Amino acid sequence: MTEAKLQPRDFKMPAIVLSGTVDQAMYGTFREQLNRCPEQGVCVVELSTLGGDPEVARVMGEDVRFHSDVYPARRIVFLGKAAIYSAGTTFMSFFARQNRYLTRGTRLMIHERQMSCAVQLNGPLTTCIASVQAKLNELQTSIAIQNEGFAELVRGSNLSLDEVVKRATSNWYIDAEEAVKLGLVERVI
């Protein structure tokens, strides 16, 4: 189904307004506002964030996906303002490309998930191998989850998954106009 391009007036009164770190507090605010949204019509989710917890972003995104299925007469639309970094871009990836909009001057930032840890090996060798294998499993699963998100982000765009994976290693910043040209968002308003 092809959705009509929205106009600036459609974003005048966002149903959900979020700003700050993507964390459990933002999730609580998001759910409160989502639960008050009408069951039909355009429902704008406005976000500005420098990032945060990617798992919280995924939970919020799954809520968007679920509510879109439960209320098919409701069109949930993303509006990114100023900065959509890291976890914010993860959240945006849950919206269909035709439901992604940015304001002028907004920047997206895409990067790989981060990890900081020390692996200390102490004890019988088989236990040490199990500890190393557990950390390797965590890394491999995190990479798979990251790449699933990247694949959703580029669906319907002019980018390949390989290009995003390659550029994400060095914090890839994309301005709003470039995001439109790359097909990551529908338009700039």
pLDDT at 171 over 80: yes
Identify the band that residue 170 occupies on the pLDDT scale cut at 50, 70 and 90: very high
Can you say how many angstroms the Cα of residue 144 is from the centroid of all Cα atoms in its chain?
15
Instruction: State pLDDT tens for residues 16-29.
Output: 999 999 999 999 99
The verdict on residue 154 lying in a domain is: yes
- pLDDT at 101 exceeding the cut of 70: yes
- Phi, psi for residue 7 in degrees, rounded to 5: -110, 160
- Over residues 44-57, the mean pLDDT reads 97
CA atoms of 151 and 135, how far apart (whole Å) = 24
Are 150 and 168 contacting, i.e. CB atoms less than 8 angstroms apart? yes
Question: DSSP letter string over 77-104?
Answer: EEEEEEEEETHHHHHHTTS-GGGEEE-T
> Residue 2: what pLDDT?
65
Distance between CA atoms of 27 and 69, rounded to whole angstroms? 20
User: Between vectors from CA 45 to CA 39 and to CA 46, what angle results, nearest 5°?
Assistant: 155
Q: Is residue 138 part of a domain?
A: yes
Residue 85 forms part of a structural domain: yes
Asked if the model's pLDDT at residue 176 lies above 90, the reply is yes
Give the per-residue pLDDT at 116.
Answer: 87
Q: What is the mean pLDDT of residues 111-131?
A: 90
Q: Is the pLDDT of residue 1 over 60?
A: no
- CATH number of the domain bearing residue 168: 3.90.226.10
Q: In this predicted structure, what is the pLDDT of residue 118?
A: 87
Percent over 70 (pLDDT), the chain = 99
- Structural domain span for residue 92: 8-188
Is position 65 within any domain? yes
Does some domain include residue 3? no
Q: What is the pTM of this model?
A: 0.92
Q: What is the average per-residue pLDDT within 116-144?
A: 92
3-state secondary structure of 137: helix
What's the total number of domains in the chain? 1
Mean per-residue pLDDT, 120-145 = 93
Q: Is residue 151 part of a domain?
A: yes
